[in-house]
Structures are given as C-alpha cells and as structure tokens.
Amino acid sequence: MRKEDMPKGIITNMIKAYIRINDLNDIKTLHEAALSCKYDLVVQSGTKILNPKSLMGIFGLGTKKTVSLVAKYDDKRDFLEKFGDLIST
C-alpha cells in the first residue's frame, strides 16, 4: 500500500527511542532539543504522556528514570543529532 493510500490518522513515519533523564541538565537538553523540532514529539513515562516542548510538563517527569521519546518523523539522522546524547544504551 502506498503512503498516500493510507487512511488518514495512521502514523506511517515514527521514531521511538528510550532516553535517560538523570538530572535537571538532561531535562533542559531535552526541552531545548524538542523546541528546535518542527515535528510532533511525545514523552511517555508509565501512564503519563507529555509534550517535551512544555517545560512544566517535563519537569513533572522527575529525574533518574528512562522514558520513551516518540517523534512523528522519519529523518533518523536529524533525530539522533538532536537527541543522541540522551538515548539510553
């Protein structure tokens, strides 16, 4: 099936990575990188789904945890340049 034939609302291009938030500097790094993105992002931690472009939202995550970062985007190189330092290995 071609991308243009897909029903509306189905996400075909998505990147998911697990990132580690150790301290307030990581929250700042995540927030600044997210603000530089023109695509949609969400951070998921347990049942919480947050917008990393909202500083108040990501402060609610706390520190010392691994969360998932999902981007509605397909340029992995750009994504890694922006978020690579946070990706959990």
In angstroms, what CA-CA distances link 12 with 32, 34, 49, 59? 26, 21, 20, 30
Cα–Cα distance measured from residue 49 to residue 54, given in angstroms and rounded to the nearest whole number: 12
Per-residue pLDDT reduced to its tens digit, 62-71: 899 999 999 9
User: What's the Rg (C-alpha) of the chain?
Assistant: 14
- This prediction's pTM: 0.81
Per-residue pLDDT reduced to its tens digit, 19-73: 999 999 999 999 999 999 999 999 999 899 999 999 998 888 889 999 999 999 8
- CATH code for the domain defined by 11-83: 3.30.1340.10
Each domain of the chain, given as residue ranges in start order, spans 11-83
